[in-house]
Amino acid sequence: MTAQQATPAQSISHLPQLAHARNPGMALDLDWVASVQANTSAIERRCASLGGRRSVKKDWQAAWLLKAITLIDLTTLSGDDTPGRVQRLCAKARQPVRAEMLEALGLPGLTVGAVCVYHDMVETAVRALKGTSIPVAAVSTGFPAGLSPWHLRVQEIRESVAAGAREIDIVISRRHVLTGNWQALYDEMCEMREACGEAHVKAILATGELGTLRNVARASLVCMMAGADFIKTSTGKESVNATLPVSLTMIRAIRDYQDRTGVKVGYKPAGGIAKAKDALLYLALMKDELGLPWLQPDLFRFGASSLLGDIERQLEHHLTGQYSAGYRHAMG
């Protein structure tokens, strides 16, 4: 390889990143919302065929896995979170793969996309990530159920932003979707978007609790109309979290919104994505449906905690030909 030739890892890592404005939102268009449908059987067939139609091997597989690392919102959302655990997680975010492995793969200095924590841990995470460009994301608005009093949900957003969170993952009121009260969902999302100020807002739909793919598609559209910068599948606390059919439904809503408005909105699957092979499927789906601009952290994230460990194991196997024990790739 000459000095001018890039490795697959470097090629994937330097995919073109196009600057785009935040989603300004638009007036609620109920006719557009009512026209949205979802062909469940066709969506499921498309997703079932993905693994056999899109496969990468060897150097290119390693390259795509390195790309996946840059898209991870490294997350801890447990009742027993402590400052020490969050500090260790932030250290892992700074150095997600052992330095000698990244040197061998040609990408020293690689980091994750963000660190995601509860509000009480925002200041701890901000201090631990000082000197890096890694943003802190806070889950908010009565996460995960979204059933706390409204004024407290809005105030929680403001306090997380004041503490240094640059991204806010909010949860919608599922009842608005289940009852078809799109005006209420739109108004709620608009107020939460305003409370976020300059912080980017990710709207968590909790898709496992919305009943149908049609509801998922309509809720996605309404949240984008109200100014969501990202739409996200799940809190990770539902019995069913991110799935490929749900992802395809939401991705196509994003594509329709861009076609109508010219605005790019990001996507975040979360919950249940724990294996490197799963990450590759999601990357393939994003590339097929939305194209290369969405393979950057400003438009695509994985909400995950254990995914990084399995990616590390796969990368070590790529370099050495041997699988290592999971404890060699702990979160901290």
232 has catalytic annotation: yes
Helix 182-196 / helix 150-162 crossing angle, nearest 10 deg: 30
Which residue in the list 232, 264, 278, 310 is annotated as catalytic? 232
Q: What is d(CA 249, CA 267) in angstroms, rounded to the nearest whole number? A: 11
Residue appearing with tokens 């993952």: 169
Helix 276-290 / helix 58-70 crossing angle, nearest 10 deg: 80
Residue 48 burial class via C-beta count within 10 angstroms: exposed 0-12, middle 13-18, buried 19 and up: exposed
Query: Can you tell me whether residue 72 is helix, strand or coil?
Result: strand
Which residue in the list 268, 278, 298, 310 is annotated as catalytic? 268
Q: What is d(CA 225, CA 222) in angstroms, rounded to the nearest whole number? A: 5
Count Cβ neighbours within 10 Å for each residue of 288-317 and write b for 16 or more, e otherwise.
ebbeebbbbbbbbbbbbbebbbbbbbbbbe
Which residue in the list 67, 73, 169, 278 is annotated as catalytic? 169
278 has catalytic annotation: no
Q: What is d(CA 186, CA 106) in angstroms, rounded to the nearest whole number? A: 46
Query: Can you tell me whether residue 25 is helix, strand or coil?
Result: coil
256 has catalytic annotation: no
Q: What is the DSSP string of 142-206?
A: STTTT-S-HHHHHHHHHHHHHTT-SEEEEE--HHHHHTT-HHHHHHHHHHHHHHHTTSEEEEE--
H/E stretch holding 137: strand 136-139
For residue 186, what are the CA distances in angstroms to 28, 41, 128? 7, 29, 36
Residues serving a catalytic function are: 169, 232, 268
